[in-house]
Structure 1
Amino acid sequence: MFRQTVHSLLTAGWRGPVVVLDNSSGHETSADDSLLRSGVEVLRTTGSLNFAQLQNVAASIAVERGLEYFFCAHPGVLVLGPDANTSFAAAAERCVERWDASQPDWGLIFFGSDRLMAVRVKAAADVHWDVFVPQYRADCDFYQSLKVSGWGLLHCDAGRIVSAWQKLEVPYGNHTAAAAVLDEHARAGVADGYAISAARAAARSPEAKVAWAMQMRTSIEYYQYKWRMDECDMPDGHLPWQAE
C-alpha cells in the first residue's frame, strides 16, 4: 500500500520532489531501488521515531531547505485531481495561493481532513510538535498549539483524496475510471480499514500490545491534562481519526 501511495503522489504533478522519511526499523525503504529509480528522495531517520518526533524532523528539513511550505501526506493516501485537465497538485497549489492572498497567517491547510496537508514552514518552526504526546492526540495538540500562537487552520478541496486499506489498481491516465475506483473504495473502505487495523492489532505480540496501549493512554491523558479538554478542533469539523 505504501508503494501505491508513492505512485499516486508521483502522478499528482508536484513541482518539487516526493520525499519519503524512512522511519522503518530496518530502513527497508532506503534499500528499495525501485523507489529511487522513480525519482523519489528517501531520507533515513536516525532511529525509530514516534509520530511527533517524525513531524519535527520533517519541519527541520523544510527549514534547512528554505521552503515556504510543504505538503505532508499519510502513508495510505491516494489522490486525484478535480478533473481530467487539473492535477491534484495544481489544485492544491492554487488553494495555497488563494489563502496566502486572503489569510497570510495560515499555519496548516487541510485536504481531506489531515490525510494530506500543506504546512507553513514558519509556523512549524515557531510551534513544534510536543514529543510528550507521542501517538494519539499528537496532531490535536499541534493544531491547538498553532491556534493559540496565532496561526490559522484552514481547509481546501483539491480533488479526491482517500485512505487506501488494500491494494488498488487505479488507472490514473483515465480520470473518469480512476475517480470511479477511488469513489467505490471510499464508500466501502472505512469498514474494511477498521477490520484490517483490528487484525493488525490482534497480530501484535503481548509485549507490543502493552507498549502500544501505554503510549495511547499516555498521549490521551497528557493531552487532556495540558488542554483541559478532549476535543480536537478541525476546520472542517472532522476529527483526524474520524471516518467520513
Structure 2
Amino acid sequence: MTARYIPLNGLLNRDESSTPSPRTASGWRLPKRWISFLIVTFTLLTTIYLFLGNGPPISYTGSQQFNGLPSVPSISSTSSPSSSVSYLLGSDEDSTKLWFPPLHDEREFRPTVASYNAPLASLQRPRTPLFIAFTRNNAMLQQVVLSYIAAGWPREDIIVVDNAGTMDSNPRHLLTPKNPFYLDYDLFRNRYGVSILQTPTLLTFAQLQNFFLRVSMAHGWRYFFWSHMDVAVLSDEEAKPYKSFHARVLDVLSDLGVTALDTDMGTPRNGEKNWAIKYFTYDWLTLVNVEAWRQIGAWDTFIPYYATDCDAYSRIVLNGFTKDDVRTGRIFDLPEALQDPEAKFFPPASSSSSSQAADDSAPEGEPPGSRRYHLLVAELEKLERRKPENQRNNWQAALGEGGKGEPWTYDPDGFQKMWWATAEKGRDMYRMKWGTSECRLDEHGVKLDDAWQT
C-alpha cells in the first residue's frame, strides 16, 4: 500500500478523492535536503524529549531467560564484577533499619582465606545466613567470626547481631574498648567484611531467637543458622577427601532438599520432612527450619535464659518434629579468646595487614593439616578443658568494670548480677509452666496440654 502524500505548501483538500496521487501529480516531490532536515530534526526532538521526560536512555547489553518466560533485556550495571557481592539484607547502610553492611570492596577484606577453604560465589550455592549475637566481649566475637570465615563460611552470609543494648553508641564510636558492650564496627565491617544488624534494644536469649525467626520470615527465608558467640569452628583437615566446614554445611542442605534460601524445600534424601532444627554439636551451631516453627511456636520469653532451650527443644518433639545431630567439622566451646586469632586461624602470610603480605596468592603454600592447624587444635582443646561447667558464662564478665559512665552503658557489675538473677527466675518460670525441672520433657511423659496445669 502506497502512503498518501500531503504537500507542505498550499491548503490540504480534506476530500480524499481530490487528493492528488503521488504517482500522477507532477511537480510535488519534496527535495532530498528537506527529507534529511526532517529526519535530523525529528531525531533531535525525540532524543530531547526522552532525556527530559524519562532520564537518559537505558543501554541494553543482552537478554536473560527467566523460568521459561520470553527473553527480557538486562540493564547494564556500572558495578565491577569484583564488587557484586550481595549482602543478605541489602548492600547499603540504613540506620533507620538498624542495618550496617560492609563499606569496602571485598578485595580489601582480610585476612585472606586459604585456597582450600575458599567459599563458592553466592550465585553458585544456596545462601547460608548465619546470625551471631553479641552482647559483651568484643574479643570473643572476633574469635568466633574469624573461625567461621577461615573455615569457609562466606563473609557476605555472616550477620553479627548487635545486642549490646547501647542504642547508637557503637555505630557512632562513642564507647571505648574497655567497655564490655563495645563492638568494633570498623573491624568487623571494613576488615572482616561481615554485616551488623542491631536489635532495637537489649533482648534476652529467648527474645533473640524470636528475633532471628522474625527477620527470616520478613525476608522469605526458609531456613537460617545461628551460632553461640563463645565457640570456635574448624574444618576437619584430617578428613579424606577434604572439604571445608562450609562445604560440608552445603552438603547437609543438599541432603535436606534445599536448593535456595527463598525456595520451598524439596524431598530430603532420607525422606525426613518434619525436621525443625539440625544440631552441629548440640546447639553451638544450629540450622533452623522456619516453617516448622510456625507450628511449634515462639520461644517462651517468660523463660528468658536458662531452661528456655529445654522448653523450646522439648516442644519440637511434642509437636511431632525432629531434631538431630549432623557433623561438618570441629566446634569448640571456649571460656576466653585466643591471643592473635588472625595469625592462628589463617595461613601466615594472609594474616598480615600489609598489602604485600596479604596478596590473595600468599596462602597457597600451606596445605590442609598443616603444623599451624595442629597447634591451633591443641590450643583450642586445652582452652575448652578449662571452661567450668557451672560457670559457663563467666567470659561475658571478663572485661570487668570498664566503661562506667559511657553513653547508654549499664553498670557492668550490676548487669552481671541482674543477668544471673533473671536467669534463675527463668528456671522458676519453667518449673511453674511444666511442673518439673527435667529438661527433656518428651522423655518424661509430659504432654503439650500439661503446660500451666500444676
What's the CA shift for 1:207? 4.5
Q: Take 2:395 and 2:198, find their aligned partners in 1: how far apart are those partners?
A: 29
Whether the 8 Å contact between 2:161 and 2:197 is mirrored in structure 1 is yes
TM-score by length of 2: 0.47
Superposition RMSD on alpha carbons, in Å? 2.9
1:48 aligns with 2:243: no
Paired position in structure 2 for 1:134: 304
- Larger mean CA deviation between 122-131 and 190-199 belongs to 190-199
1:231 pairs, out of 438, 442, 446, with: 438
Contact 1:82 1:91 in 2 (8 A): no
Partner residue, 2:161: 21
Q: Of 377, 381, 387, which residue of structure 2 is paired with 1:186? A: 381
Larger mean CA deviation between 21-30 and 114-123 belongs to: 21-30
| Cα shift readout 1:169-202 (whole Å, capped 9, x = no counterpart) | 3234454332442344224423245498189389
Identify if the C-alpha distance between structure 1 residues 231 and 183 changes in structure 2 by more than 3 Å, giving closer, same or farther. farther
Of 36, 45, 50, 2:189 maps to 36
Q: Is the 8 A contact 2:278 2:287 kept in 1?
A: yes
5 Å-filtered alignment, 1:150-169, equals 150-168=320-338, 169=341
Task: Say yes or no: does 1:4 pair with 2:143.
Answer: yes
In structure 1, the partner of 2:103 is none
Q: Is the counterpart of residue 212 in structure 1 residue 419 in structure 2?
A: yes
Rounded to whole Å, the distance in 2 between the matches of 1:202 and 1:137 is 26
The alignment's TM-score, normalised by the length of structure 1, stands at: 0.83
DSSP 3-state at the match of 2:373: helix
Question: Matched residues in 1 for 2:188 and 2:314: separation?
Answer: 35
Per-residue CA shift, 1:1-58, capped at 9, x if unaligned? Answer: 2112111122232356101111002253776122112321111111011111111111
What's the secondary structure of 2:157's corresponding residue? coil
**Partners of 1:14 and 1:48 in 2: how far apart?**
27
Counterpart in the other structure of 1:101:
269
CA distance in structure 2 between the aligned counterparts of 1:70 and 1:198, rounded to whole angstroms:
26
Paired with 1:121 and 1:156, the residues of 2 have a C-alpha distance of 18
Deviation at 1:208, TM superposition (A): 4.0
Larger % of helix: which? 1
Match of 1:80 in 2: 234
Residue 116 (1) aligns with residue 256 (2): no
How far apart are 1:209 and its partner, in Å?
5.3
Q: How many residues align?
A: 234
Task: Assess, with a 3 A threshold, how the Cα gap between structure 1 residues 201 and 164 changes in structure 2: closer, same or farther.
Answer: closer
**Range moving further from structure 2, 29-38 or 138-147:** 29-38
Unaligned residue ranges in structure 2 (runs of 5+): 1-139, 171-181, 257-267, 348-365, 402-411, 442-454
Secondary structure (helix, strand or coil) at the match of 1:167 reads coil
Contact 2:276 2:288 in 1 (8 A): yes
- C-alpha distance in 2 between matches for 1:131 and 1:195: 21
Distance 2:318 2:274 in 1: 13
Question: How far apart, CA to CA, are the structure 1 residues paired with 2:161 and 2:429?
Answer: 27
Q: Which residue of structure 1 aligns with residue 345 of structure 2?
A: 171
Matched position secondary structure for 1:101: coil
Q: Counterpart of 1:166 in 2: which secondary structure?
A: coil
Work out the percentage of aligned pairs sharing the same amino acid.
Answer: 26
| Distance in 2 between residues matched to 1:203 and 1:171, nearest whole Å | 27
